[in-house]
Structure 1
Amino acid sequence: MSQLLHHRSAAPLLSSGRRPPPLPPFPGLFVDLEKEDKISNLPDFIIGHILSFLPTKIAVATSVLSKSWRYKWTFITKLDFIDEEKWFTGKEINKEMFLNFVNRVLLHLNSSSIESAKLTLIENYHSYVDQWMSAVVRRGVKKLCIDSAVLSSHSLMEFMSLEQLGLSVHRCVNIKLPSFACLSSLTVLHLRGISLIGETCNNSGNIHLIFPLLRNYKTEDCTWSSSLKYVTLEAPLLEVVSIQNATHKHPYPTIKFCASRLIEFAYDDYPLPDPIVFDLSEAHIVDADIHIGWTKDEQEQEIMVLSSKILKQFKTVECLKFQKWSSKVLLAKDSLANIPSFEMLSYLELGDVTGEILLALLLKAPNLKTLVFQNLLQSDQELLNYDPVPECLLTTLQVVKFEEFKGSEHQLNFAKFVMGNALALKKMSKFNEQNVLETVALSIKLLKQFENVKVGVSVVKEAACAHRTTAFLRSPAITAALPSSVG
């Protein structure tokens, strides 16, 4: 006889002490324990798909559920191996146990293809890593991500079938590039700690790679071989480019991106004599984040040249950021005339910059809405008499933010100039992290000099509220200092 489980608790007693009549049965609340196991009877490839959402070691552990589940895990399509976890013993990792586990999984897989494979390895497994990579590539893996201490040299052509490739190596490893190739499936390419070299048969030093579907390109701590002269990356659908901390060997190759749909560009590196070149005839850049560093004073001229060349290629940018030191020498007086006009620029963020250079940039950005800068350096020019007044101040500029406002005379003069000419200004933030009260006092000092009381009050309140000093605004000293028109 079938055993039935009823999932309803006993009805409570009525005020008379009797129980109410039983409710009619609800079929959905009963479970027949003798019914067949529907999950176990699903096709193996469906069970494998379900198990693929679990970490690989847990998916394999389902083999102990019953005899029928012993090999269900072999149909998984996603692999994720991490050797930094404390396997079984709860102590330090057992390298031999981990190595055997990975080999066993790859040996017994029944899936016709693998959707993704990820290897995160702290220990050094020498040639085994290359064997594991080759095993998943032969099975037609679509997404491959390797984070390993050591990796042998490989050719980019080995990854022809991939849609996404991520290689992160703690010690630099060579990836050989053919003189010409088309990787028709790749949509994401992330490289870290990779040395990109040409094949031995390439005497010209020219590389031309075509990525018809590539949308995201990122390199970090990568090196281009000194034997390369000109590298062309043709990616008509490329949207995001990020280049960080490259290690370059002299002579430097010129890298050209043919990317007509580029949207985001990030560059964090030291200057190069031959910069990265973009073919942006049809591109509409939304966000450009540039940080050019240097270690010696004599490199300032190189930075000016590189910055000018980069800026000329981003005329349609909407959000432009020059981090830290970049803007300090970015727009030297001799190079201001070469800076293009940014008709679509609405957000500008700078590091340390002088007043005349800042205003020269404002003249190049007629539709700017938000201006953020780290520190305003000493200026030789009297900004109150600056002529002509940038168009954005008169029409579009709504937000101005000082990251480091110390109340020096040239900073106060610039603040007066902005508040006196920015007709659309809604918000001005000025913060002195070391002395909040001084910031508030300086803001009030400015507030008294202008009819734009609403903007001035927002400056004072924001400075105080951001540092939880709203009670300070109600003090008699501050109340007396505020203009009488402020309620």
Structure 2
Amino acid sequence: MNSASLAKMEGSSSVEGNQKLPKRKKMINDEDTMSKLPEPLISRILSFLPTKDAVRTSVLSKKWLFRWTFITRLDLDDTEFYSLKKKTGGKMSFLNFVYRALLLTKTSTFESFSILLANKYDTSLLNTWIPNILTRSRNLRVETHSKMSFSALASHYLFDSKLLEEVVLKMDSCAIRVPKIFARFDSLKLLKFSGILFTLHPSSKVLTLSFPLLKVFETVNCRWLNGNRLHLVVPILERVVIVEDAVSMSNETSVLAIYFSRFSLKHFSYCGLANISYYFRLLDSSSAHNASVNVVVKQCPINRVAETENRALVLLNEFRQMRCLTFEGCELLAQSKVAKLPSFKMLSHLKLGLVSGEVLLGLLHKSPILKTLHFKGVSTFDTQVLNSVAVPDCLTSTLQVVKFDKLHGCEHELCLAKYFMENVLVLERISFYLVSLWLGKSKIMEEFKEKLFSFKKGFSFAIIEFSYDV
């Protein structure tokens, strides 16, 4: 190798060294810039990192060794400690990390604390962590896929919390014994429970929970056992969602009624499998003025129809000042019972599942200012009923939009369509959604359309459209 080549190589090495040097200086300068920030601001920035990453900053320098301990948010997820390559050690690493986070963090109150457990752990460990978490967190989220029971101490801290503003407990099957007959949550604004079996205090069959600031109340597959009534005092509550779709819960005994008092509800939703589990009562029906109500009942067995129908009618009666109603499970309702319902004087939007002609007509008579009607099919009914009673007021004065789903082109469907065409005087749009694309090209539908367009029309102008369900 000649001297010229050697000089060239040495020059190249020198250039590379000079290129690396600015990068190293830049990293040092960046760290120095970050270190000059006020400590509260550094803690704030670290709090927005995943907790595991915030802890990793401790290796940057001696100055950073304990800065992570001042973070105001903890986000603990055990899936971050397990990997396909590393078959063992994940559980112990996570447990050590949790204990380290709980013991070393110097923040007296966390803005938020989240713990996700995808793997199984000793229940005693969870009951050790939970009281510590409950006394230090404003916003709490616990999600676990293991069955467990809250200890007496954990239950006490949960029902005695004055600090919590938001709480989300998403459990697989968690038993919690309520330690008192009255509890007040002064700061709670959002509550979401899933998979929890609450057992009421044996000294009373009534549990009263007061939430002065609560706006959202949601439960999924929860039960309130050993009592007759759950009373919720919720003066500014806006949203209620109750879902009970677990097969194992359909035969559980629970409280008979849930009472709501002093609230200003905007949305109420109940979805149940096999039945409606509770009587829902409003101590002041005007508190649900202009509310949107959504009720879905799936697969109700014959032996529970009467009970479920009764609870559905009570619910509709309580929400008689609602603005919007979605009801899937109308086949549970009898025409004679619908006739006894009060008038829904504020109802402007009605959406139904499969419904009989008699019940549909009964609900229309109870909805004098209805503007939009949407139903997912109509079962076979005695079409003579359409001519045997007076035309509902909403058809002649307010109804503007009709949506007819699951159309098969049957004779009883044609009779109902004819009834709307002739009697809806201010109609703007009527839509027919066929059960299949094939039906739209069939002779049955050609005859249906031909007859439909031949009917006398009570409206001056409206859009009539056909499409198929997707």
Q: Same fold (TM over 0.5)?
A: yes
- Most deviating of 447-456 and 386-395: 447-456
- The alpha carbon displacement at 1:362 in A equals 0.7
* Residue aligning to 2:125: 128
Aligned to 2:452: 446
Specify the alignment match of 2:306 in structure 1: 301
Q: Once the 2 structures are TM-superposed, how far is the Cα of residue 274 of structure 1 from its aligned partner?
A: 6.1
Normalized per residue, the structure richer in helix is: 2
Residues 93-130 of structure 1 show CA distances to partners (whole Å, capped at 9, x for unaligned) of 71111111122222221223201111111112222222
Letter of the 1:124 counterpart: K
Match of 1:6 in 2: none
Using the size of structure 2 for normalisation, the TM-score is 0.83
Relative to structure 1, is the Cα distance of residues 293 and 453 closer, same or farther in structure 2, using a 3 angstrom cutoff?
same
Contact in 2 for aligned 1:288/1:319 (Cα 8 Å): yes
Q: 1:204 to 1:449 in 2, by over 3 A?
A: closer
2: CA distance, partners of 1:95 / 1:137: 23
The letter of the residue matching 1:84 is T
Matched, 1:282 2:286: yes
Instruction: Give the CA deviation at 1:316.
Output: 1.0
1:374-385 mapped onto 2 (5 Å cutoff): 374-382=376-384, 385=387
Residue 437 (str. 1) matches residue 444 (str. 2)? no
State how 1:44-443 maps to structure 2 within 5 Å.
44-85=39-80, 87=82, 91=86, 94-126=90-122, 127-138=124-135, 140-148=136-144, 149-153=146-150, 154-155=155-156, 156-199=158-201, 202-226=202-226, 228-245=227-244, 247=249, 249-250=252-253, 252-269=255-272, 270-271=274-275, 275-283=279-287, 284-293=289-298, 295-323=300-328, 326-330=329-333, 332-382=334-384, 385-434=387-436, 435-438=439-442, 441=446, 442-443=448-449
What SS does the corresponding residue of 1:372 show, helix, strand or coil? strand
Task: Give 3-state SS (helix, strand or coil) of 1:459's partner.
Answer: strand
Greater Cα offset, 336-345 or 55-64: 55-64
Contact 1:342 1:365 in 2 (8 A): yes
**Post-superposition shift, 1:162?**
0.9
Cα pair 2:160 2:183 within 8 Å, conserved: no
Distance 1:210 1:35, change over 3 A: closer
The alignment status of 1:37 with 2:54, answered yes or no, reads no
Amino acid corresponding to residue 297 of structure 2 in structure 1:
I
Count residues with an aligned counterpart.
426
Contact 2:206 2:228 in 1 (8 A): yes
Structure 1 portions without partners, runs of 5+: 1-30, 468-487
**Deviation for aligned residue 1:364:** 0.8
Greater mean deviation of Cα atoms: 293-302 or 303-312: 293-302
Same amino acid, percent of matched pairs: 34
Please, what is the CA RMSD of the aligned residues?
2.7
Superposition deviation, residue 377 in structure 1: 1.0
- The one-letter code sitting in structure 2 at the alignment partner of 1:455 is A
Checking the alignment, whether the CA contact within 8 Å between 2:335 and 2:362 is kept in structure 1 is no
Partner of residue 462, structure 2: 455
Give me the whole-angstrom Cα distance separating, in 2, the residues matched to 1:266 and 1:388.
32
Aligned pair in 2 of structure 1 residues 274, 167: CA closer, same or farther (>3 Å)? closer
Question: Quick check: 1:447–1:453 contact (8 Å CA) kept in 2?
Answer: no
Contact 2:233–2:260 (Cα < 8 Å) also in 1 = yes
